[in-house]
Amino acid sequence: MAVLCGAGLGTSLRRCGAGGSGRSPWKPLLVLLSPPAFSTGCPRCAKDRRLRQKRAISERQLTRYFVDQRKVRVVGGQGGDGGQSFHSEPRKVFGGPDGGNGGDGGHVIFKADQQMKSLASVFRFYQGFHGERGGSKNCYGANGAHKYVKVPVGTLVKEDGEVVADLTQHGEEYIAAHGGAGGRGNRFFLSNENRAPKLFTPGEPGQERVLHLELKTTAHAGLVGFPNAGKSSLLRAISRAKPAVAAYPFTTLNPHVGIVHYQDYEQVAVADIPGLIRGAHQNRGLGTAFLKHIERCRFLLFVLDLSVPQPWSQLQDLKYELEAYEKGLSERPCVVVGNKVDLAQSRINLALLREQVAERVIAVSALTGENLEELLLHLRELYDTYVKTEHSQGQSPVKW
């Protein structure tokens, strides 16, 4: 018995192996214009196919995909009209009204999803499904289905500048627009005075609102520092995140979140916040667009460049910018990370830095990986303290 093999695009069907008939091998009969939907090849013709790797996206291309603000117009579904009908049956002349009520319109609901990382997939208009009209025989119309809109965890919903919802937990929902109520059928208006009502009411329109969505990245730790301090390199060293790294300032234009895995299967999320400069709270540089992402961080990692003169002045400026943006933000649990300790000048500045600051200083090198283990151990201590504090207050800590 002969076996046919389709080797893919542009490959002729051929005979693999000679049968017992003694005939000559077949000539090519058909050229496939597209790959087959299933494998029809023999083991000798099978090829090793590898999975395609995800294409790397540059930082400038990523700005088109990462959106942390969105203006959305939401409209609830319209309620179905009430039915108008009278019961008809043999040998029953006056059956009476039997028009049912219309179905309610569907809501527009925002639902926090941990898999969503940006508001780029959120459209500017959503409307719930309409309810159906009431039918005869006292049949009610079907309610309209709800419209669910997935948003990232940490999304703020604002209306006229006021916060109306804060979605901080996975699966948390907020009804953005209520659907309209269904109309009444003529059966509803039956009374002793009116035994044959013809009156019915239309369905009510759904609620209409214009909301502003604002995303604040939810992470356990936040890397805060000046441009070119080595925050992105440090995040690449301790996690699998791949933010852009270059020798010019403002390389990182969007927040990146990396996950640090421990042996007991605990996961600590670390956010790389774009570099801050003096006057950031006054909207200088990248401005307050990324200062808001630090609000969600439970503890902070101040990354300082040890190779510059007087690195302790960077810490003072960073704390001033955070405190000017939000009072108490600089007082959160923190640790000072002195980066680029592999340079000669950094060794000299490290001793001076420890004399100038009261916080614990951990000297690391994101390039060579020096002393990263001490940083990871202290990061776990900060995380365990945060978990205990949340449990003592009766709250559930954020898990990744």
Say if residue 62's pLDDT is above 70: no
For the stretch 77-90, pLDDT in tens is 999 999 988 888 88
Residue 198: count of CB within 10 angstroms of its CB: 11
Three-class DSSP category at 293: helix
Query: By the 8 A CB rule, do 135 and 174 touch?
Result: no
The full DSSP string for 97-111 is B-PPPPPPPPPEEEE
pLDDT band at 384 (very low <50, low <70, confident <90, very high): very high
175-184, 209-218, 237-246, 359-368: range with lowest mean pLDDT: 237-246
Q: Could you give the percent of the chain with pLDDT greater than 90?
A: 33
C-alpha distances in Å from residue 101, one per residue of 104, 105, 140: 9, 13, 5
Q: Note the helical H segments in the chain.
A: 59-62, 231-238, 312-325, 344-356, 372-392
Nearest-10 Cα torsion for 27, 33, 38, 42: 30
Helical segments of 101-154, H only: none
Tell me if residue 350 falls in helix, strand or coil. Answer: helix
Q: Give mean pLDDT, residues 43-66.
A: 47
pLDDT for residue 93 is more than 60? yes
Q: Name the residue among 259, 271, 331, 323 with its Cα closest to residue 297.
A: 271
For residue 233, how many C-alpha atoms fall within 13 Å in the half-sphere facing its CB? 23
φ, ψ (nearest 5 deg) of residue 112: -75, 130
Could you give the residue ranges of the DSSP H alpha helices within 193-307?
231-238
pLDDT per position as a tens digit, 13-35? 444 444 444 444 444 444 444 44
pLDDT in tens, 305-330: 898 888 888 888 888 888 888 888 88
pLDDT at 287: 55
SS3 category, 349: helix
Say which residue, 354 or 95, is predicted with more confidence: 354
pLDDT at 104 over 90: yes
DSSP-derived secondary structure letter, 157: E
Q: Are 126 and 108 in contact (CB under 8 A)?
A: yes
Residue 338: Cβ-neighbour burial (10 angstroms; 0-12, 13-18, 19+):
buried
Q: Are 173 and 111 in contact (CB under 8 A)?
A: yes
Which position has the token pair 């956010």?
Answer: 271
Residue 66: which pLDDT band, with cuts at 50, 70 and 90? low
What's the mean per-residue pLDDT of the chain? 80
Out of 9-13, 115-119, 345-349, least confident range: 9-13
- Measured in residues, the chain has a length of 400
Q: What is the DSSP pairing of strand 147-152 with strand 108-113?
A: parallel
Which residues are registered as beta bridge partners of 108?
147, 177
Question: What is the distance, to the nearest Å, from the Cα of residue 304 to the centroid of all Cα atoms in its chain?
Answer: 30
For residue 383, the model assigns a pLDDT of 93
> Which has more pLDDT, 239 or 281?
239
CB-CB contact of 322 with 329 (8 Å): yes
For residue 285, the Cα-to-chain-centroid distance in whole angstroms is 26
pLDDT at 9: 41
Radius of gyration of the chain (CA): 32
Q: Which tokens hold the place of 210?
A: 């214009």
State the pTM of this model: 0.64
DSSP notation for 231-258: HHHHHHHHSS------SSS----S-EEE
Secondary structure class of 332 (helix, strand, coil): coil
Tokens of 397: 């800590």
Give the span between the Cα atoms of 117 and 67, in whole angstroms. 9
